[in-house]
Amino acid sequence: LLSLSPKHITTHGFRGTFKTWAEETTYGYSNNVIEACQAHKVGNKIEQHYFKGDFMEKRRKLMHEWGQFVESAL
């Protein structure tokens, strides 16, 4: 990523751009799915204790859409 981008673009900024893009331009993805895509813990301690899923299929679809968006900008 760094070799393809100007020096003012950072990995952290890229993650922030993903979060903004996902929240503002996608439909049908919960905040939990978006957070899971960024490897953030989802929910409070009680929710984490009872929910053992990984949102894998939803994450896969969201990241595919993100990849298409990024490719369209190159």
What are the residues whose beta carbons fall under 8 Å from the beta carbon of 65, sequence distance 6 or more? Answer: 26
For 20-64, how does the pLDDT look when each residue is reduced to its tens digit (9 = 90+)?
A: 999 998 788 999 999 999 999 888 899 889 998 899 999 999 999
**Following CA atoms 47, 52, 58, 62 in sequence, which dihedral angle do they give, to the nearest 10 degrees?**
70
Q: pTM surpassing 0.85?
A: no
| CB contact at 8 A, 33 and 51 | no
Enumerate the domain spans of the chain.
2-73
